[in-house]
Amino acid sequence: MNSLKNELKNQIPVLQNDIKKLISEKGEQKISEVTVAQAYSGLRGIKAFVCDTSSVSADKGLIIRGIPLLEMTHVLPEEVFYLLLTGKLPNKAELQELQKEFSKHLIVPSYVWNILKEMPKDAHPMTMFNTGILAMQGESVFYEKYSKGMPKTEYWEAVLDDGIRLLAKLPSLGAGIYRMRFKKGDRIDADPNKDWSGNFVNMVGLPDESGDLHKLMQLYFMLHCDHEGGNVSAFASHTVASALSDPYYAVSAGLNGLAGPLHGLANQECLKFVLSVRDEFKGLPNSNQLKEYCWDRLNNGQVIPGYGHAVLRCPDPRFSAFVKFGQDHIKNDDVFGIVDLLFKVVPDVLQKHGKAKNPWPNVDAASGALLYHYGLKEFNFYTVLFSISRSMGMISQMVWERALGIPITRPKSVTTDWIKSSVY
């Protein structure tokens, strides 16, 4: 971890000075304007804060520290975490050092399992996951050091210490919840010699003789790591962390947003939808049948999960990466076949429907079918997997926000009367 911290220690003053200069020379220059419609539209499109870990372009999708996603599908989740933080992929020694640091903090405290055991038997896995994270808040290095008067210059380091400790535990927490909630037997201990994804696969206890599930989870945890700063989960965690709430509070706040059906929960909703198609047609329908099925759903006032996006205006490269994985590894699977057929049918249906600004698939359209194929069939668990990965983005963003001294988030709201009096 020393090399990661040293890299950040070198980079922080450089960016601090850059920003100081930028503000002093160009601080008054406008980068965005807000219309009346935007004020009523979830702040869509307003450029109002900074996130350097990644950016999302409408026609290319996710770009992590300058690298388009589809150029880095071979990268490990641990490597992408290093990249999000530093803008550089780690060399072998730096990667091993980070993995070693993770392996020191794998164990979820026993009180967490006791709390989770007391939850209702049908509790949603996301509720259990977020409760587990929040329950560990008392472990926070940031909280402890802050209480003792830590200087501002050290905030980022304490956030990083918390972040590493928390991230290290998330595969164990997620896998333990899977086994508890779906009655799969005793928890399986983490193995300090395995990588992040390998540990997860081992701890959920699914067979993986081919090693393909391990490969899928490496891809899965990499692809979901970050999606710039304005999505619900990133923005919620950014806002909470800006009050100097520690990463346990801030990550669980973000993940509570990820648990919404218009955001991360869409992955469970999407597989539910795909399985409903399979059950309705006893297998793979033809295009016309599927088209009609989609229209029925839209006419019923429901969205097509896995399609549409607030920023993207193209097929999500994360979707393309998952589809490629499926094409390379899966043959003759009805569930994956329906995902493929939906991609051929839904964009046209949504265009004719005329509401969604983006008729293309997003990340959640394909991931569930792959997990299902490899035996992870309990789809209300899927958002936990998204969460394990997305926590990397939230933590990376938080480290930099504290390093740059970004103050408490407090935009100004206005009343409808104020808007009327301003525009008429």
**CB nearer ligand HAX, residue 53 or residue 99:** 53
As a whole number of Å, the end-to-end CA separation of the chain is 58
State the Cα–Cα distance between residues 369 and 375, nearest whole angstrom: 10
Residue nearest ligand HAX (C-beta atom): 308
Name the active-site residue from 208, 246, 316, 364: 364
Three-state DSSP at 61 gives strand
Give the residue with the Cβ less far from ligand HAX, 75 or 365. 365
x-or-dash string of contact with ligand HAX, 208-247, rule CB under 6 A = -----------------------x----------------
The yes-or-no answer on residue 364 being catalytic is: yes
Of residues 57 and 103, the one with the C-beta less far from ligand HAX: 57
Residue 186 has φ and ψ, to the nearest 5°, of: -60, 160
Which x/- pattern, by CB under 6 A, does the window 317-356 give for ligand HAX? --------------------------------------xx
Residue 140 vs 231, nearer CB to ligand HAX: 231
Neighbouring residues of 172: CB distance < 8 A, sequence distance ≥ 6:
106, 107, 108, 190, 199, 203
Whole-number minimum distance, CB 298 to ligand HAX, in Å? 6
Q: What's the closest the beta carbon of residue 75 comes to ligand HAX, in angstroms?
A: 20
| Per annotation, catalytic residue among 214, 263, 316, 373 | 263
Instruction: Tell the smallest beta-carbon distance from residue 151 to ligand HAX (Å).
Output: 37
Q: Between 246 and 364, whose beta carbon lies closer to ligand HAX?
A: 364
* Stretch 354-383 residues interacting with ligand HAX (CB under 6 A): 355-358, 362-364
Residue number with CB closer to ligand HAX (168 or 356)? 356
Contact region with ligand HAX (CB under 6 A), list: 96-104, 256-264, 330-338, 374-382: 256-264
**Alpha carbon distance 296, 99 (integer Å):** 49
Q: Contacts from 293-298 at CB under 8 Å and sequence distance 24+? A: 294/342, 294/345, 294/346, 294/349, 295/349, 297/273, 298/349, 298/353
**Residue 321: closest CA among 390, 225, 219, 227:** 219
Torsion of CA 81, 85, 87, 89, to 10 degrees: -30
The SS3 of residue 418 is: helix
* Contact code string over 284-313 relative to ligand HAX, x by CB under 6 A: --------------x----xxxxxxxx---
Residue closer to ligand HAX, measured from CB, 195 or 316: 316
Burial class (CB in 10 A: 0-12, 13-18, 19+), 123: middle
Neighbours of 342 (CB within 10 A): 25
Closest approach of Cβ 144 to ligand HAX, in Å? Answer: 33
Site for ligand HAX in 120-149 (CB under 6 A): none
- Quote the tokens at residue 99: 């993995």
Report, in this order, helix, strand and coil percent for the chain, each rounded to 5.
60, 5, 35
| Cβ-based nearer residue to ligand HAX, 58 or 262 | 262
**Catalytic residue status for 263:** yes
**Shortest CB 80 distance to ligand HAX, Å:** 17
What is the bridge-based pairing of β-strands 54-57 and 61-64? antiparallel
Give me the torsion for CA of 334, 358, 317, 258, rounded to 10°. Answer: -80
Total residues contacting ligand HAX by CB under 6 A comes to: 21
**Which positions from 173 to 212 touch ligand HAX by CB under 6 A, shown as an x/- string?**
----------------------------------------
> Known catalytic residue: 309?
yes
CB-based burial, 161-200: b 16+ in 10 Å, e otherwise: bbbbbbbbbbbbbbbbbbbbbeeeeebbebeeebbbbbbb
Among 309, 316, 334, 373, the active-site one is 309
CB of 411 to ligand HAX, least distance (A): 19
- CA 61, 59, 356, 323 torsion: positive or negative? negative
What binding mask, one character per residue, do residues 262-281 give for ligand HAX by CB under 6 A, x or -? xxx-x---------------
Backbone angles phi, psi at 388, to 5 degrees: -55, -45
Residues at the contact surface with ligand HAX, assessed by CB under 6 A: 231, 262-264, 266, 298, 303-310, 355-358, 362-364
Which residue numbers are catalytic?
A: 263, 309, 364
